[in-house]
A and B are shown apart, each in its own frame.
Chain A
């Protein structure tokens, strides 16, 4: 039985690789965390942050009631606060902060940046049918393309599926920041900064 499952798993791996070969809306370059951070300091980037670590016991049953959603765990809250401190210390210029209406995203945005604007179209697209989730992905891409980041960096706080659907990048794990460079309408995926890497980078810089 176990052998059977592992063969299926292998098949999915191959399928996954094939599907990631499709043309993505953004080009990709891999940069180290310190390169990413120094790039952010001069503005011109978009940061997509997946909400920080959550309490996996709870489930989302009501989008209008925080008590009936999967919320940030204590670890998640600490992660978000730490990221916020590092961004402030590094003096990374931040422009608009947009958040999904889910409480775990709003809390993440509040703890890191102390401000945010809710964008209903950032809501978790995995819960929607194919047509709607495609639309939400497309919305994210075009909003990023229209953002004016000549002086600073704009931030989107959201979930996994929207970014995967819209830009072909899967943000993992929770709390990860995905960095895109913006030149005109072109977005280039530069890399990701995991929650723990921010403070390491700060220590290196100091």
Chain B
């Protein structure tokens, strides 16, 4: 049966059975030992130290109780509560430590359910003992008898506590005893298994000895024959063998002998080829040695296999030092891993050649340890047995160093530039914020300046209405004129500062171009008349009148330009305003405005300074014509804020033409165009005054001077006025009497104009009552605020009375409500 098994199997059978048996023995034995050690380990880890700790705890408790007794007894002796407290405190701290150590013991142990009662009883006993001791300490200086009684009670509790601890300790000992008896039982159960395994093992050893002996006989005869063959003695007699597997061996031996005979012939041929090969190699070595290019060749293990003379010059090593050394020898330490990956990728890739320009210079070391930067061209030679990598090396160290230096200089320069830019930026910001603060201040001055201006203009106006002699009339009219000029200047400065501080917003509201032009004409009319000039207005028929934009600012630009034109025009000259349509689409237009005068004109030089702040064409004209020089600067800013353009054409002595373009949106569904007209001073408010005759007005105004002015002006023109000093009074008066209109000052004590207007609008019956705001504050946004509060329109202070009457006439229909 054994003969049929292969030799390998036969060799394997014996050890295999041995291993199985040994494993069996091991598993059985190991399990037994492990279960025993586990039991012992658990006992040792928990029970033994715990028993020790419990005993220690009991001893410590006894000791502590002793000390407490001494403290208390001495307290009874000297009776100082504080000292008892201090001493007692120490012992109580000790007691707390002992309680904690018990907690530690109990938490180490895995408790079964029936043991849980120890967990409850012992801490309770501890607490009871502690309370008794504390009570005893407190009593010790007050009532010594009772203190001693408490001390005895404490001792009783301590005995109980010790009893509990002892029971617990006994429990642990019992657990240990149970465990050791368990070890005895399992040991005897495992004994017969061990015996059986030993018998099997002995049998198996005997069988395997028999098999080995049979096999080794045949094998030794074959090996004798092999030894002979190996020595070159091909004349071998082969042994006679009956074993089938050994016979196969014998055949193989015969074939081997035949092959050896054939090989002897080949060897002679090989020796010849080898000589030829050596010649060839010497030839190539000679070529390599005279080449100027440094060449290093490595194999797949990255060992240097070739290092030519030029390479010796570059690196400073001799060829014989380098052959067989890893290429790492030439590389700085940190680059090894990267280099390995690179070489590995190249060796395994399909690419055979990498020219140097594809790669950045490689960092290497020469013999002195100095850095070298090399351009390397790589090529791969795949031989039958191995892959060789050939590196053609050019030293570019000098080039790299100079490039590096250049880079450092560039970085330094860049950071200097950055630093300087930052400083400049900071300086600019500081300057800008200072300028903005100044502008803010000016913008907020608006109200403060206008209120007294109103008094001056209003009062002088009233004075001019009274009987004055010629001299007085002359004085007062100059005061009036100067005040109006001053107001113009202040308005310019405030506007300019608002633009500067970014507080001026361009509105986008529906408006009619003809309304805007009406306003313009009423404003400049008086001046036109005074100077005997003529004003021509020409609006192209295709200019739409219903537009969307900022009529107030558009009017301001035109007023500026027209005022300038009037100012610089010759006596009885003509000022021409032309408005034409430059571009038009479905929903927007680009309007071109032109203001032309026949005045003194300007030279090219003067024109260039024209739109700058605080500058006039000629400083000498300042004296003659006055003005702040801000009008054009403001106009330019406003035009640009509306995304338009402004420019001038002029020649000295030939008059000037100011142009500006403004893009505006068209109101949808309204196409009525303006027709050309000629306007000259007609609308002086008299028509409005006629319409307003008999109207009853409620004036809410807190400033007494202003009250007086309004009363005088309105009464003179046949308008009846009731005065309220604040918003609350206005509301009260509205309850009692009905009015055609309310003129509402915005800033008043008690209740301001905005709140009063909102309250009025809350009442259904006053929904249609016209309310006109009087604002001392002509800042952008004032109008929105007024409209948002429910008012219909607003008049800015100081009051231009003609404009006031026009505005009032727009809203008031007298007798619509009878008083």
Contacts and interface: CB of A to CB of B under 8 A. Distances in A.
Interface of A: 5-6, 8-9, 12-13, 15-16, 19, 56, 59-61, 70, 126-127, 129-130, 133, 160-161, 164, 170, 172-173
B134 A130 contact: no
A128 B70 CA distance: 22
Interface stretch (B139-147, B367-375, B529-537, B711-719): B139-147
A13 B78 contact: yes
B572 interface: no
A6 B77 contact: yes
B81 A160 contact: yes
A5 B73 contact: yes
Contacts of A170: 81-82, 85
A161 B93 contact: no
Interface in B703-724: none
Contact of B139 (A13, A56, A126, A172): A56
A164 B70 contact: no
B143 A126 contact: no
Given A5-B77, A127-B130, A170-B81, 8 more contacts: A6-B77, A9-B74, A16-B82, A16-B86, A56-B142, A129-B97, A160-B81, A161-B89
B87 A12 contact: yes
A56 B144 CA distance: 12
Contacts of A173: 81
B83 interface: yes
A61 B85 contact: no
Contact of A12 (B74, B89, B96, B97): B74
Interface string B67-111: 000110110011011110111110011001100100000000000
B93 A130 contact: yes
Given A12-B87, A130-B96, A59 B82 contact: no
Given A16-B86, A56-B139, A8 B74 contact: yes
Interface residues of B, number: 31
A12 B73 CA distance: 12
B540 interface: no
Nearest to A133: B89
A161 B142 contact: no
Given A61-B131, A164-B85, A9 B78 contact: yes
Contact of B80 (A5, A16, A127): A16
Nearest to A160: B85
B93 A129 contact: yes
Nearest to A57: B146
Contacts of A60: 131, 135
A172 B81 contact: yes
Nearest to B83: A16
A205 B16 CA distance: 113
A8 B85 contact: no
A60 B100 CA distance: 22
B157 to A, nearest CB: 12
A15 B70 CA distance: 15
9 smallest beta-carbon distances between A and B, as pairs: A170-B82, A129-B96, A9-B74, A16-B83, A130-B93, A9-B77, A9-B78, A172-B81, A8-B74
B81 to A, nearest CB: 5
Given A13-B83, A56-B146, A5 B74 contact: yes
A161 B82 CA distance: 9
A56 B131 contact: no
Contacts, number: 68
Contact of A19 (B86, B138, B143): B86
Contacts of A19: 86
Contacts of A59: 131-132, 135
A5 B70 CA distance: 8
The DSSP consensus for interface residues of chain A is helix
Nearest to A16: B83
Contacts of B86: 15-16, 19, 164
Nearest to B139: A56
Interface string B112-154: 0000000000000000001110110111001100100000000
Contacts of A70: 135
29 contacts: A5-B73, A5-B74, A5-B77, A6-B77, A8-B70, A12-B74, A12-B78, A13-B78, A13-B80, A13-B83, A16-B82, A16-B87, A56-B143, A59-B131, A126-B88, A126-B92, A126-B137, A127-B134, A129-B97, A130-B96, A160-B81, A160-B85, A161-B89, A164-B82, A170-B81, A170-B82, A170-B85, A172-B81, A172-B82
A173 B100 CA distance: 33
Contacts of B132: 59
A127 B99 CA distance: 13
B539 to A, nearest CB: 78
A130 B94 CA distance: 9
- Among B130, B134, B138, the most chain A Cβ lie within 10 Å of the Cβ of B138
Contacts of B81: 160, 170, 172-173
A173 B143 CA distance: 13
Contacts of B138: 56
A28 to B, nearest CB: 14
Given A13-B78, A59-B131, A60-B131, A161 B96 contact: no
B146 A161 contact: no
Contacts of B78: 9, 12-13
- Among B83, B97, B139, the most chain A Cβ lie within 10 Å of the Cβ of B83
Contact of B71 (A6, A12, A130, A133): A12
A12 B83 contact: yes
B94 to A, nearest CB: 9
Contacts of A127: 130-131, 134
Contacts of B88: 126
A106 B606 CA distance: 95
A199 to B, nearest CB: 23
Interface in B43-75: 70-71, 73-74
Contacts of A56: 138-139, 142-143, 146
Contacts of B134: 126-127
Contacts of B70: 5, 8
Nearest to A128: B96
Nearest to B150: A59
A173 B85 CA distance: 13
A13 to B, nearest CB: 6
A56 B136 CA distance: 10
- Among A6, A15, A56, A60, the most chain B Cβ lie within 10 Å of the Cβ of A56
Contacts of A12: 71, 74, 78, 83, 87
Contacts of B139: 56
Given A12-B74, A59-B135, A160-B81, A126 B142 contact: no
A12 B142 CA distance: 19
Contacts of B93: 129-130
Nearest to B147: A56
A132 to B, nearest CB: 9
A70 B139 CA distance: 12
A87 B492 CA distance: 76
A90 B118 CA distance: 59
Nearest to B82: A170
Interface string B313-347: 00000000000000000000000000000000000
Contacts of A160: 81, 85
Contacts of A16: 80, 82-83, 86-87
Contacts of B142: 56
Contacts of B71: 12
A65 to B, nearest CB: 15
A187 to B, nearest CB: 19
Contacts of B82: 16, 164, 170, 172
A59 B134 CA distance: 10
Nearest to A17: B83
A24 to B, nearest CB: 13
Nearest to B142: A56
A5 B77 CA distance: 8
A56 B74 CA distance: 20
Contacts of A61: 131
Contacts of B73: 5
Contacts of B130: 127
